[in-house]
Amino acid sequence: MNEVRILDKKFRELISEQAIRKRVDEIALQINRDLTGNEVIFVGILNGAFMFAADLFRKIKLTSRITFVKLASYQGISSSGAIKELIGWNEDLTDKNIVVVEDIVDTGATLERIVNELVIRNVAEVKIATMLLKPASYTRDIPIDYIGFEIPNKFVVGYGLDYNGYGRSLPSVYILVP
């Protein structure tokens, strides 16, 4: 399945299911090594990161928990800039080691917002894992510890990511065909 149509747009495969699986395993291995001996709370960012978070978390061998927070800022195929309210911070994160699990980092505005929330909550340490990064549009200087794939500055769907709600179940990542 190299091309898919979602609503009015055509997409072609950019990253295969096998490549994603291999990369997720590598990242899990790295996190297991880097955080050995620590208790870790994974914080998945809904909705897009649910698939990456599930695949990654099942490979984690640390004493760990997972929680999810939600925010919405993206409608259609261009970032609106305005970031809505963050909901779901129920856990006490004081002095905890956190791994933020993101689907995609574009400008980094979302990531910055989340990291600020974590700093307010007096966490011990924050590491960031993102499946995808658009280096050409990333403007923040928050270091990203684990990056699945760097991709062009174009709209993608699949592996949890949607186009107007659709396409999340695709096991590969697809890029918009102009």
Q: Which stretch binds ligand 5GP (CB under 6 A): 5-13, 18-26, 90-98, 108-116?
A: 108-116
Decide if residue 79 touches ligand 5GP (CB under 6 A): yes
Catalytic residue among 106, 141, 145, 162: 106
Measure the CA dihedral 134/137/141/147, to 10°: 0
CB 64 within 8 A of CB 41: yes
Q: Is 109 in the site for ligand 5GP (CB under 6 A)?
A: yes
40 is a site residue for ligand 5GP (CB under 6 A): no
Q: How many CA atoms lie within 13 A of 102 on its CB side?
A: 28
Q: Which of 6-14, 61-69, 115-123, 152-160 is the region at the interface with ligand 5GP (rule: CB under 6 A)?
A: 152-160
- Is 55 catalytic? The answer is no
Q: Considering beta carbons, is residue 46 or 60 the nearer one to ligand 5GP? A: 46
Q: Any contact of residue 170 with ligand 5GP (CB under 6 A)?
A: no
Give every strand in the sheet of 156-157, ordered side by side: 3-6, 9-15, 173-177, 156-157
Shortest reach from residue 107's CB to ligand 5GP, in Å: 3
Strand blocks (E) in the chain: 3-6, 9-15, 40-46, 64-70, 74-75, 78-79, 97-105, 125-133, 146-150, 156-157, 173-177
User: What SS3 class is residue 89?
Assistant: coil
Contact residues for ligand 5GP (CB under 6 A)? 48, 74, 79, 103-111, 155-157, 161-162
Residues with catalytic annotation? 106
